[in-house]
């Protein structure tokens, strides 16, 4: 099965989640000896990572109109690229952007689609995958029976690994009509954290139990030692202790890191909805009855002001 991978970029870099999608697509193609082609718009500084993660060729779109992230234009371009490469599967990372591309592409390219996928299909003939639904509270088994298929991959569902391939970069000018470019980005407000919360492998998050913004050094110090992104509960961002883009939960960012550390967070259902697909959850709370302990893999019952500095120091000493 020949596979086309769409590589999304941010800050002129191919996103880590797109490299995960590439590894996913590469794994499927390798079963049948199919080709792996990546499509990227612009000239990301880490373009060579497409080759090192298994793309045999990279179709590079230089048309500046594609810098606007217009989903109709991208859907048409991906359909054209897939046809050129005789691909029968298009893979991309699940994101706000791809959530808008997939339904349009599905209609244009006449393909069945599964989003937020966390597992490989059993085989090319039996394309049954598991997808995460209800904000990570359940899984749905879905079988794609159409000849052409589109899959978007949940973040951190695939471990990134290297498999060097030729990665020949070929210019690609899609014959997309100018009508497809109907959206203009007027302005963009960027999250300022050093590590993007939604892509992070480790997240350290604080709640109202930290009493005030003046105590946030507890969270940021631990995050720094672990190379983690920082998050918070909704009341914390509502109180302006932390910026809104750090708010985790049902109404905020949904994260799926390998490790989520919740400090002074009660574990209300709306918060847990945003963290439940984390691989390991560690809760630090002084109330042994706090609901967060039901969601946690490991729990520390104790005062955060006592526990967290000791934990941070111990980790610092061990590095």
Ligand X SMILES: Cc1cc2nc3c(=O)[nH]c(=O)nc-3n(C[C@H](O)[C@H](O)[C@H](O)COP(=O)(O)OP(=O)(O)OC[C@H]3O[C@@H](n4cnc5c(N)ncnc54)[C@H](O)[C@@H]3O)c2cc1C
Residue ranges that bind ligand X, judged by CB under 6 A: 207-209, 233-236, 249-252, 264-266, 268, 270-271, 274, 284-287, 290, 303-305
Q: Which is nearer to ligand X, 83 or 251 (CB)?
A: 251
Least distance between ligand X and beta carbon 100 (Å): 22
Least distance between ligand X and beta carbon 248 (Å): 6
Least distance between ligand X and beta carbon 249 (Å): 2
DSSP-derived secondary structure for 253-274? B----SEEEEES----HHHHTT
Q: Which is nearer to ligand X, 226 or 290 (CB)?
A: 290
Q: Which is nearer to ligand X, 111 or 203 (CB)?
A: 203
Contacts of 226 (CB under 8 A, 6+ apart): 202, 204, 259, 315
Q: Which of 87, 95, 144, 85 is nearest to 120 (CA)?
A: 144
Q: Which is nearer to ligand X, 163 or 268 (CB)?
A: 268
Report how far residue 208's alpha carbon sits from residue 186's, in angstroms, rounded to the nearest whole number. Answer: 35
- Which run of H or E residues covers position 30? helix 16-32
Least distance between ligand X and beta carbon 311 (Å): 12
User: 101: which 2 tokens?
Assistant: 């591309």
For the purposes of burial, counting CB atoms within 10 Å of the CB of 185, is it exposed (0-12), middle (13-18) or buried (19 or more)? exposed
What is the Cα gyration radius of the chain?
21
DSSP-derived secondary structure for 267-297? --HHHHTTTTT-SEEEEEES-TT-THHHH-S
Least distance between ligand X and beta carbon 272 (Å): 9
Least distance between ligand X and beta carbon 259 (Å): 18
């Amino acid at each position: 099965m020949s596979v086309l991978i769409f590589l999304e970029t941010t800050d002129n870099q191919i996103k880590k989640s797109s490299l995960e999608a590439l590894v996913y697509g590469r794994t499927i193609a390798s079963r049948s000896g199919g080709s792996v082609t990546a499509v990227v718009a612009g000239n990301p500084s880490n373009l060579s990572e497409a080759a090192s993660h298994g793309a045999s060729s990279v179709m590079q779109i230089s048309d500046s109109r594609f810098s606007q992230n217009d989903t109709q234009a991208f859907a048409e371009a991906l359909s054209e690229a897939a046809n050129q490469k005789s691909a029968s599967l298009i893979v991309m990372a699940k994101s706000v952007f791809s959530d808008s591309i997939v339904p349009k592409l599905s209609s244009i390219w006449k393909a069945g689609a599964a989003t937020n996928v966390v597992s490989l299909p059993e085989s090319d003939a039996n394309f049954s995958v598991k997808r995460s639904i209800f904000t990570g509270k359940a899984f749905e088994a879905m079988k794609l029976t159409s000849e052409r298929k589109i899959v978007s991959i949940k973040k951190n569902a695939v471990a990134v690994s290297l498999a060097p391939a030729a990665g020949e970069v070929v210019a690609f000018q899609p014959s997309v009509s100018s009508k497809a470019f109907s959206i203009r980005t007027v302005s963009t407000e960027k999250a300022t954290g050093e590590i993007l919360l939604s892509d992070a492998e480790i997240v350290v998050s604080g709640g109202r139990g930290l009493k005030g913004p003046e105590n946030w050094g507890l969270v940021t110090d631990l995050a720094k030692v672990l190379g983690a992104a920082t998050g918070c509960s909704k009341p914390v961002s509502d109180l302006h202790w932390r910026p809104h883009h750090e708010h985790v939960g049902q109404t905020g960012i949904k994260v799926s890191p390998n490790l989520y550390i919740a400090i002074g967070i009660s574990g209300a259902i709306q918060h847990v909805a945003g963290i439940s697909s984390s691989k390991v959850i560690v809760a630090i709370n002084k109330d042994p009855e706090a609901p967060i302990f039901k969601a946690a893999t490991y729990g520390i019952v104790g005062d955060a002001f006592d526990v967290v500095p000791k934990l941070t120091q111990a980790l610092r000493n061990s590095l």
